[in-house]
């Protein structure tokens, strides 16, 4: 019975080591990506309808709001729009999947109808400490 327990333990260690090697062979995860939106609302009621429809889609694709229309302070250049939103996604591919998804492209006309906007996606860096300008 003791040999069976040792054999099971050895097998478990071997499986764990194999899984660890497989995970590290894939390399580090991709850098996060951010959807940046500058919004000037023209029709508050219609914009609220857009927000109510967009929020579940953002969550579906794993988006997380980092900013959502708080105070912006112009420091240099053209001032920012009235609302600036930054939504974090796990990767550039995931941010693009959200932005070009049928779920989102079906509701994007609500935003266009209710606000003037500028949107873009920017990829983050995977190692800020190692980054150099």
- The tokens describing 26, both together, are 């894939």
Give the pLDDT mean for 56-69.
Answer: 96
Domain identity same for 8 and 49: no
**Domain containing residue 18:** 1-27
The model's pTM is: 0.75
Domain identity same for 23 and 74: no
Give the pLDDT mean for 36-48.
Answer: 97
- The tokens describing 4, both together, are 């069976």
Give the pLDDT mean for 120-128.
Answer: 87
> Closest Cα to residue 81, out of 69, 64, 65?
69
pLDDT for the residue numbered 80: 92
* Residue 115, burial from CB neighbour count under 10 angstroms (0-12, 13-18, 19+): buried
Q: Please state which of the ranges 15-24, 34-43, 96-105 shows the lowest mean pLDDT.
A: 15-24
Contact 18, 25 (CB under 8 A): no
Report the domain count for the chain: 2
């Amino acid at each position: 019975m003791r040999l069976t327990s040792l054999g099971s333990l050895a097998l478990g260690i071997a499986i764990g080591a194999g899984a660890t090697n497989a995970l590290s062979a894939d390399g580090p995860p991709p850098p996060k990506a951010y959807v940046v939106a500058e919004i000037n609302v023209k029709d508050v009621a219609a914009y609220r309808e857009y927000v109510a429809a967009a929020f579940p889609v953002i969550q579906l694709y794993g988006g997380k709001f980092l900013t959502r229309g708080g105070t912006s302070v112009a420091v240099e250049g053209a001032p920012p729009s009235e609302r600036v939103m930054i939504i974090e996604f796990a990767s550039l591919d995931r941010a693009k999947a959200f932005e070009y998804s049928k779920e989102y492209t079906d509701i994007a006309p609500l935003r266009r109808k209710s606000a003037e906007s500028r949107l873009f996606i920017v990829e983050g860096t995977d190692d800020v400490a190692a980054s150099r300008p």
